[in-house]
Amino acid sequence: MAKLEVLQIGHPILRERSVKVTAFDDGLSRLAEDMLEIMHEASGVGLAAPQVGIARRLIVVEMPDDDSYPHPGERWVLANPELAKASHETETGQEGCLSVVGYVGVVERPVEVVIRGQDLTGRKVRIKAEGYVARVFQHEMDHLDGVLYVDVAKEGTVMTVEAYEKLLEGQRAAGLEAEEHTVAPA
């Protein structure tokens, strides 16, 4: 198999609705391992199969092994994830993406979610996530439906990482409380 690479915005696979995973075999396990390796190389916290050119409903999420993140070092590999429940309470946060390199945007998402899916053996699983972890899951699941964060970001908030950092710097210099959000490519 050819080495997988992260596709960039503009590639048609990123806009397709992915197909359901039906074969829970060694090929699926290899794909998940490859995705995790690619995600680590790119310093991401999540990756969806369409981002590496495979239009299947598979996502990987792994929190950095760093106490400043919730669930440090925890990893999830989920096939056919579905949003089972979402809180009415939402929060806005800065998001980036391995398929939209160099840009960030502000996206409003539910604070808590319950996700149903399957593990690599096909066994049904249910995950309750909140805060940052919930945001990452929602971001990755959007990819499975051909949606990028730039499509759902609040109008006028998508900017280069450099422009975002200057904005935060300006807010701090003005004595304003900077709305700092973790920017993690997913």
Structure confidence by residue, pLDDT tens digits, 68-109: 888 889 999 999 999 999 999 999 999 999 999 999 999 999
Please report the pLDDT score of residue 67 as a whole number. Answer: 86
Please report the pLDDT score of residue 127 as a whole number. Answer: 97
Residue 82 belongs to a domain: yes
Please report the pLDDT score of residue 2 as a whole number. Answer: 57
Residue 21 belongs to a domain: yes
> What DSSP state is assigned to residue 15?
G
Residue 48 belongs to a domain: yes
**Contacts for 129-133: CB closer than 8 Å, 24+ residues apart:** 130/70, 131/70, 131/91, 132/69, 132/70, 132/93, 132/182, 133/61, 133/63, 133/70, 133/71
Please report the pLDDT score of residue 180 as a whole number. Answer: 45
Residue 1 belongs to a domain: no
Domain membership of residue 116 as a residue range: 12-88+110-152
Question: Where residue 40 sits, what CATH number does that domain have?
Answer: 3.90.45.10
Clarify whether 16 is annotated catalytic.
no
Residue 30 belongs to a domain: yes
Residue 26 belongs to a domain: yes
Write down the pTM of the prediction. Answer: 0.90
Candidates 140, 165, 177, 179; catalytic one: 140
Low-confidence ranges of the chain (pLDDT < 50): 180-184
Q: How many domains does the chain have?
A: 1
Please report the pLDDT score of residue 186 as a whole number. Answer: 57
